[in-house]
Structure 1
């Protein structure tokens, strides 16, 4: 038990959480208790990693194999290089940047706030950090996916659980880049309306902001047609030669009223 002294010098006892309350879940009511050190998420300080990459002991807490985590990060290193190569002539259009150069200082980098709408292990965020890109990333874990949010938070990244059938709680025009890997295929088989999802993405994306969707051909083609209905400029890119994966790259235009 934890005992706290109030201003009136009276002791208030806060109980330890019962089993099952150590890891918060979506829509679970708040409970007046604290997690105990017997929780599986408590890792001895000597086993803690110093950077954003987690140690084998920390990954084991989350039920993730070190090999799977490393492979995922390697994939996102490659993907980010492809994304940046694709966007560089566009987001640095007012700056004489050459391929391979370091990012120029703000305000030349037109992408600052990024949302990963299906973050999984947070691999895209980790790749941004490794490659020293000057961006801030919000990692979103869909509620219908395995709950990897504790793993994302333990890497020191920002993250949240969210139901993409609902509006996202943020101000309009907050993000410069929205990214989603595999989210479209996941939502096509659910109760979500795809056009309502795109309208919500349009709301939180700033004018002239970018959308990168990485998914199967069928899902990409369906969303490409919907994207034109909300006046996004959209094009399909085949970065994965010989596979059924495609990129849909969109830009929200600046529309004068």
Structure 2
């Protein structure tokens, strides 16, 4: 699977051009209708629709592709499957959110992210991941639907998320060999699960009676037991393991037991281009003492200072001030755009320099989801974003982002271009990458130094970002880099390939 991991071409092989639209491209269907149908023309590789129609993933329907809400392992429907999982765990009212205590989910090998789509009704947000494999563009389908998702694969490197980010990980026939390399891939899931987190496994190995699947089941059960996981529930085609709340089980393991415990020098939160390690990540002294993450249920955790703030040296007071500032900033941005946008103009939003997630938190009452991107130099902040019940990833913006063209409605870049100048990276390359990611009629909010904004303004016609724009000098606040910041908001044109290049 290593060849499905992220590989960036060297600078001479990068394409310094704008990507044209596929023939017949249409403005995407708006959320929530897009959950159930998208324009066929917007997805240039549609053989997946034909291949998976028999399994109910999607159905070609004239100029649209429909998503009936079923999948390989949940034929009665994703919503019924989710209720079934909640009943297996005996959660109140048959709701998988467990009264707000299940908020962040990792869906591994997600297909077109139907499981994640139906979790949204429960205020659960899933990071749905799948590689660009033989199915080609399943994540492009998911993002066209407006469902949180990204390209990702369990192979050799850690997923770009900090430890203890998810209450639940899900694998529904994800076709992963969990036993390979000493259980390396299952140990990566263990790193990402919170104390008391669940691993939901729906696959033939959990129920099929043939000798091969029975053998795999025995070996996997043995591995899970040695990792101190216990079976919380097993029924029909699904088994659910639960991770311990504290270190007590690890401390009872015999010397030389496998897999080993990770060493004291290992940073479980290091996740940018870091190789996976076949070892168990013990809890910190604080987690072991309190027997859990100490997180409040959703939505209270969104605004409550997370306990892990102390690990990155930020006080609760500074956290609260940051949240207040971003609330004021978002109010200003929407005021500047109010004559141009509709209630459903945005669905997929990316904060390209997310800090503590304040921008995303301020959008909670809008029907959007936000991919919070934290630069790899500040990767420790991503754990705060996850502890708030948001999702995101680590990235180096000197490289391209792991997504398909035309997948986001709104990009927010706060002081990102100034940081790229300091890193010695090309601003033009970053603008071209933003154009690749942004949908036609999409918006970019750029807040940066006046000199940077003035430079970007000169390139707007070449980028075809001159459909509409607004610029202002904002009031200084505690996050301002100085008194020369500017806010520039632009809208990308829906341009035709037949137009002459500028």
Alignment TM class, shorter chain as reference: 0.7 to 0.9
Change (3 A) 1:207 1:39: farther
1:124 lines up with 2:359 in the alignment: yes
What secondary structure, in the 3-state scheme, does the structure 2 residue paired with 1:81 have?
helix
Is residue 237–residue 247 contact of structure 1 (8 Å, CA) maintained in 2? yes
1:88 lines up with 2:338 in the alignment: yes
Is residue 379–residue 394 contact of structure 2 (8 Å, CA) maintained in 1? no
Is residue 407–residue 438 contact of structure 2 (8 Å, CA) maintained in 1? yes
Gaps spanning 5+ residues in structure 2: where? 1-186, 188-214, 224-257, 477-481, 498-502
Is residue 56–residue 65 contact of structure 1 (8 Å, CA) maintained in 2? no
Q: Please state how far the C-alpha of 1:216 moved relative to its aligned partner.
A: 1.2
Change (3 A) 1:11 1:57: closer
Specify which of 49, 55, 71 is matched with residue 296 of structure 2: 49
- Single out whichever of 47-56 and 77-86 deviates more from structure 2: 47-56
Specify which of 206, 209, 216 is matched with residue 439 of structure 2: 206
Change (3 A) 1:160 1:202: same
Is residue 309–residue 316 contact of structure 2 (8 Å, CA) maintained in 1? yes
Change (3 A) 1:218 1:47: same
Is residue 140–residue 159 contact of structure 1 (8 Å, CA) maintained in 2? yes
| 2:274 alignment partner in structure 1 | 28
Is residue 41–residue 61 contact of structure 1 (8 Å, CA) maintained in 2? no
Q: Please state how far the C-alpha of 1:56 moved relative to its aligned partner.
A: 5.9
1:219 lines up with 2:469 in the alignment: no
What secondary structure, in the 3-state scheme, does the structure 2 residue paired with 1:207 have?
strand
What secondary structure, in the 3-state scheme, does the structure 2 residue paired with 1:211 have?
strand
| 1:161 alignment partner in structure 2 | 394
Counterpart-to-counterpart distance in 2, 1:88 and 1:248: 15
| 2:259 alignment partner in structure 1 | 14
Aligned residue runs from structure 1 range 223-234, under 5 A: 223-233=456-466, 234=469
- Single out whichever of 160-169 and 23-32 deviates more from structure 2: 23-32
Change (3 A) 1:61 1:6: farther
Gaps spanning 5+ residues in structure 1: where? 93-107
TM-score (norm 1): 0.83
Change (3 A) 1:120 1:43: farther
Q: Please state how far the C-alpha of 1:37 moved relative to its aligned partner.
A: 2.0
Counterpart-to-counterpart distance in 2, 1:140 and 1:42: 29
Change (3 A) 1:43 1:156: farther
Q: Please state how far the C-alpha of 1:141 moved relative to its aligned partner.
A: 0.6
After superposition, give the CA deviation of every residue in 1:84-125 in whole Å (9 maximum; x if it has no partner).
Answer: 111222112xxxxxxxxxxxxxxx511111100000000011
Equivalent residue pairs, number: 238
Specify which of 166, 173, 190 is matched with residue 423 of structure 2: 190
Is residue 117–residue 178 contact of structure 1 (8 Å, CA) maintained in 2? yes
Specify which of 298, 318, 321 is matched with residue 68 of structure 1: 318
What secondary structure, in the 3-state scheme, does the structure 2 residue paired with 1:76 have?
helix
Q: Please state how far the C-alpha of 1:146 moved relative to its aligned partner.
A: 5.3
After superposition, give the CA deviation of every residue in 1:35-70 in whole Å (9 maximum; x if it has no partner).
Answer: 112366668248432322334634224432001101
| 1:97 alignment partner in structure 2 | none
Is residue 179–residue 213 contact of structure 1 (8 Å, CA) maintained in 2? yes
Specify which of 474, 487, 490 is matched with residue 250 of structure 1: 490
Q: Please state how far the C-alpha of 1:218 moved relative to its aligned partner.
A: 1.1
Q: Please state how far the C-alpha of 1:145 moved relative to its aligned partner.
A: 3.3
Change (3 A) 1:77 1:42: farther
TM-score (norm 2): 0.44
Counterpart-to-counterpart distance in 2, 1:39 and 1:26: 25
Change (3 A) 1:250 1:24: same
Counterpart-to-counterpart distance in 2, 1:38 and 1:246: 42
Counterpart-to-counterpart distance in 2, 1:180 and 1:247: 10
CA RMSD of aligned residues (A): 2.6
